[in-house]
Chains A and B, each alone.
Chain A
Amino acid sequence: MPPLSNQASALLADPATLKVVVAADGAGGARAELRPSLRLQEDGTLAYAEPFEASEANSLMLALHWAGKAAEILLSAPDGRAWRITAAPRRYLYTGPLFQSFYREARAEQGPNSQVGGVWVLEALKEEDAGYEARKRLEDEARPFYRYLDRSDVTPKGARA
């Protein structure tokens, strides 16, 4: 996969961005968790701290890793920008320099009693603009008959409520 887009990179770097990681089990179950530590690394991979070793989110991510499947990441900024990344877990670290950097970060932010189960490293496989306007453009192009007829791009101002 080529490097992530500037939009995705900017959202990942913005501390105001909500970062949600979603892992599904393939049988109807899924777990979405806020993962504020998610960051883009120099080598282009994504990494975040999973706080709890025994969490359902962690088990599901591991199951995806074992099965060679991908998770979803949603980035959402207060100004309406949103981005979706499909990413495959490639590595789980609970020792070594990368783990320790996340552990130190967690302690700096949450205090000396904080916990980090491990660090997931993911490879982005695809990305897309998940903002409202971008999604609407796609929908309008692909399924034009769902558009309400009183929408401004269909009906002139004088004929609308």
Chain B
Amino acid sequence: MSEGDLDHIEQLEAKYPDVPRFVLLKLALRYRGVRLLAPATLAISDADYNYGPVQVFRYHDEEALKKAHPGPLLFRDGTTGLVAFEDREVFEDPYVIDHEGGKFLLYSDASKARLVDEVDFTPRPAYYGKRTSSGKPMESIATARAQRMIICAYRHCHFWDTGEQCKYCAFFTDLNETRQVSEKKFPKDVEAEDIYETVREILKEPGRVSEIYMTAGADYEGEPAFEAEVDRYINILQAIGRNFKGRFSSQLMAPAYSKAQYKKLYERTGLTTVCPNIEVWDERLFKWICPGKERFVGRAKWIQNTVDAVEVFGKGNVYTQVIGGVELAKPHGFKTEDEALASNFEACEFYSKHGVVFVSVVFGPARSSVFHDQKRPSLEYFVRLIRGLRQIREKHGLKADNDDYKHCGNHADADLERVD
């Protein structure tokens, strides 16, 4: 048995009967990685599956741009897996997916000794392959998850300019040059009208999306800080809003703005939820791992702004997340998993008391991030983490609908709420 293999999954299944096998597999695939065998790669090249290579939080080197890539993986119960494929991260003994008899089959390892289950991939949205009236490919404007449309409004994070980016981050990076993708490959700015037209197009496909999600690289220009970024989002959200009657299900993942900035966003647009991610709770580790956020906002203000946002958007409509596992990064991270869990549960308790939904993701050491060679804690650590977060949120009457399996697919703790 090794960490995250099928034997280990079965052991965890017996130990934690409240965590279903599908959710354990979701964690394991993120943790252990996935290799697509040749028939699966060929099947994914099919027009029904091929999402193309552009992904917001990963690198974009020449080889990756040539390949077909699938959308989120789907387990039979609908659980989505934002799995880590071998060409994006390095794995020693990943799970493998083959394509046999018209089905994608997940196997325990390259020997295919044990069939795990039949899986599928989120179908390619109908708007992929279409162009805006200005000629832009719509899939370059917005990428789709199972029921979420992700718009990256600004493809550059200025924290990288001074080497102050979050240490786990590979936002629009270029593996060849180990820095953010050049303006020539991906223009930084995205036109609001292109976004409006892309959203309009996706609405033509029945039942395809139930949430518009926006994010971008951090842009601290303006007075007060981030004012230019807030105005950019307002402009874009107003353009998107022309498609809808009043408010529309939406989330903005961005820095923790001031209450005045949040009010402006809420009052001038149809935005419903915001997600200023704390990333790591411990004060000392936040300063080390997220130096840009510390410098341009500061941890205390980040937390206060997040809590203040609840006054604007309402209880349960403000989210924050941790990159589960970075709190144990060497050399400054916690020395034990128990200490790390205690820190995360303290954070969840604090935020929950203030009406903020606190969720987690599994840290993946992306190849072009500072933390590319960091080891992760045990898989059981993540199982304990998601169980604890679910229990704390439940105690405070909070649910993570906006970041659940249909919308994000990255938060196993939210998956557990499906039967609550």
Contacts and interface: CB of A to CB of B under 8 A. Distances in A.
Given A66-B22, A94-B78, A95-B122, A103 B207 contact: yes
Interface in A52-66: 53, 59-60, 62-63, 65-66
Contacts of B147: 94-95
B207 A116 contact: yes
A95 B146 CA distance: 7
A104 B206 CA distance: 7
Interface string B12-53: 000000001110000000000000000000000000000000
DSSP class of A's interface residues: helix, strand, loop or mixed?
helix
Interface residues on B, range: 20 to 34
B146 A59 contact: no
A65 B146 contact: no
Nearest to B399: A54
Given A94-B78, A103-B207, 7 more contacts: A62-B418, A90-B76, A93-B78, A94-B147, A95-B74, A95-B207, A100-B206
A96 B123 contact: yes
Interface of B: 20-22, 74, 76-78, 120, 122-123, 146-147, 205-208, 406, 418-420
B420 A59 contact: yes
A107 B78 contact: no
A95 B208 contact: yes
Interface residues of A, number: 22
A66 B20 contact: yes
A118 B404 CA distance: 14
A92 interface: yes
Interface string A91-126: 111111101100110010000000010100000000
3 smallest CB-CB distances across A and B, nearest first, come from A66-B20, A103-B207, A92-B78
A94 B208 CA distance: 9
Contacts, number: 49
Nearest to A58: B418
Contacts of B420: 59
Contacts of A66: 20-22, 77, 419
Contacts of B77: 62, 65-66, 91-92
A99 B146 CA distance: 12
A63 B420 CA distance: 10
B123 A95 contact: yes
A103 B76 contact: no
B76 A59 contact: no
- Which of A59, A65, A95 has the most C-beta atoms of chain B within 10 angstroms of its own C-beta? A95
6 contacts: A92-B76, A94-B207, A95-B74, A95-B122, A95-B146, A107-B206
B419 to A, nearest CB: 5
Contacts of A95: 74, 122-123, 146-147, 207-208
- Which of A90, A92, A97, A107 has the most C-beta atoms of chain B within 10 angstroms of its own C-beta? A92
Interface of A: 53, 59-60, 62-63, 65-66, 90-97, 99-100, 103-104, 107, 116, 118
Given A91-B76, A92-B76, A94-B147, A62 B419 contact: yes
B76 A94 contact: no
Nearest to A93: B78
Nearest to A67: B20
A96 B49 CA distance: 10
Contacts of B205: 100
B382 to A, nearest CB: 18
Nearest to A104: B206
Nearest to A117: B406
A103 B207 CA distance: 7
A94 B146 contact: yes
A10 to B, nearest CB: 29
A100 B204 CA distance: 12
Contacts of B120: 96
Nearest to B23: A66
- Which of A53, A63, A97, A118 has the most C-beta atoms of chain B within 10 angstroms of its own C-beta? A53
Contacts of B22: 66
B420 to A, nearest CB: 7
Contacts of A104: 206
Nearest to B126: A100
Nearest to B418: A62
A100 B48 CA distance: 14
Contacts of A62: 77, 418-419
Contact of A63 (B74, B206, B207, B419): B419
Contacts of A99: 207
Contacts of A103: 206-207
Contacts of B78: 92-94, 118
Contacts of A90: 76
B174 to A, nearest CB: 31
Contacts of B419: 59-60, 62-63, 66
Contacts of B418: 59, 62
Contacts of A96: 120, 122-123
Contacts of A107: 206
B394 to A, nearest CB: 13
